[in-house]
Amino acid sequence: MSTPTPVEPGHDAIIEKDAVEGIVPLMPIVLPIAGGILMLLLASIAVYLA
């Protein structure tokens, strides 16, 4: 029975791509759209309550 070879601590992080790293390039598109939707929602709530 042979022992497995030791692996560097950050080896798995290099192989797997983090979910956050996949979203980061889309942030200049996603943030303004989400902000616009949030402003429309809050403005419609304010008009409805007024």
pLDDT at 1 over 60: no
HSE-up of 21 (CA within 13 Å, CB side)?
6
Does residue 30 lie in a domain region? yes
Does residue 2 lie in a domain region? no
Tokens of 46: 């304010």
Total domain count, the chain:
1
The whole domain housing 32 covers 26-50
Does residue 13 lie in a domain region? no
Does residue 48 lie in a domain region? yes
Q: What is the predicted pLDDT for the residue at 39?
A: 98
Q: What is the predicted pLDDT for the residue at 4?
A: 64
Does residue 49 lie in a domain region? yes
> Which residues does 33 contact at the CB level (< 8 Å), separation at least 6?
none
Maximum CA pair distance of the chain?
76
Write out pLDDT tens, residues 9-42.
666 555 667 888 888 899 999 999 999 999 999 9
